[in-house]
């Protein structure tokens, strides 16, 4: 029984990986189940044993990818204590994750993110995990006295995620011709200079704090 479940999990993963490439290199409209089946080297009917239709398969991709993102992010955050360094690591990992998964990035940012159907899907709940984790880090920073308390944590989160999503979208629209990780330090500086408290006014401007910032590299 355990062996059977493992086989099913591997087959599902195989389908998802093929779908990421097909959807990402074409589009949802142009992609077909038969093309995905061909890439996965399985019968077309096998896909329908795991997913209801093309849209169900398309919207299932983030559920798999976000689990992976979540696990790796938690691993990267181990041993990091203050909120600024956690946020620095998050910024780096967010950009790195999408840089390493460009086909997924194209589907997620250029199609799913602007889809009303996706925002109503069960999978969308997992996307919220990322935003909730960012908010946790921001609230930690406010409790530590590093991040301003006169600005709502939600507003800070929107600023941070908006900046990252805008950069990622520009990278995709430019056919990934520039280095997504370039100016990573400047991005962190822009964010931190806008949200740091007066008690942390020197954070980010000294060689020591810049060294801390660079732990994400």
Residue listed under structure tokens 């938690």:
74
If asked whether residues 34 and 63 sit together in one domain, one would say no
Task: Copy the structure tokens of residue 95.
Answer: 């950009």
If asked whether residues 64 and 45 sit together in one domain, one would say no
The pLDDT of residue 95 is 96
If asked whether residues 32 and 68 sit together in one domain, one would say no
The pLDDT of residue 208 is 37
pTM: 0.86
Residues 6+ apart with CB under 8 A from 77: 86, 89, 90
Number of structural domains (the chain) is 2
Measured between alpha carbons, how far is 22 from 30 in angstroms, rounded to an integer?
Answer: 9
The pLDDT of residue 146 is 92
- The residues that bridge with 196 in the sheet, in sequence order, are 147
Measured between alpha carbons, how far is 85 from 66 in angstroms, rounded to an integer?
Answer: 22
The pLDDT of residue 3 is 59
Measured between alpha carbons, how far is 150 from 198 in angstroms, rounded to an integer?
Answer: 11
If asked whether residues 167 and 91 sit together in one domain, one would say yes
Mean pLDDT per 10-residue section of the chain, whose length is 217 residues:
68 96 95 97 96 95 91 92 91 96 96 89 86 95 93 95 95 94 87 86 47 43
Range of the domain at 177: 59-216
Residues 6+ apart with CB under 8 A from 4: none
Helices (H), 28-53: 33-40, 44-47
Task: Copy the structure tokens of residue 37.
Answer: 């089946």
């Amino acid at each position: 029984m355990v062996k059977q479940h493992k086989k099913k999990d591997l087959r599902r993963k195989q389908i998802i990986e093929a779908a990421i490439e097909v959807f990402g290199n074409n589009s949802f409209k142009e992609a077909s189940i038969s093309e995905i089946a061909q890439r996965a080297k399985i019968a077309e009917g096998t896909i329908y044993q795991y997913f209801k239709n093309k849209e169900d398969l398309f919207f299932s991709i983030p559920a798999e990818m976000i689990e992976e993102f979540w696990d790796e992010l938690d691993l990267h955050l181990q041993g990091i204590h203050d909120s600024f360094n956690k946020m620095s690591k998050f910024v780096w990992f967010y950009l790195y994750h999408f840089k390493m998964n460009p086909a997924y990035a194209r589907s997620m940012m250029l199609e799913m993110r602007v889809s009303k159907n996706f925002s109503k899907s069960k999978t969308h709940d997992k996307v919220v995990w990322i935003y909730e984790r960012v908010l946790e880090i921001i609230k930690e920073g406010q409790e530590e006295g590093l991040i301003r308390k006169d600005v709502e944590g939600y507003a800070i989160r929107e600023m941070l995620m908006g900046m990252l999503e805008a950069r990622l979208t520009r990278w995709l629209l430019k056919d990934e011709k520039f280095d997504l990780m370039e100016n990573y330090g400047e991005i962190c500086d822009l964010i931190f200079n806008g949200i740091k408290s007066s008690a942390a006014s020197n954070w980010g401007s000294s060689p020591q704090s810049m060294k801390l910032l660079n732990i994400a590299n």
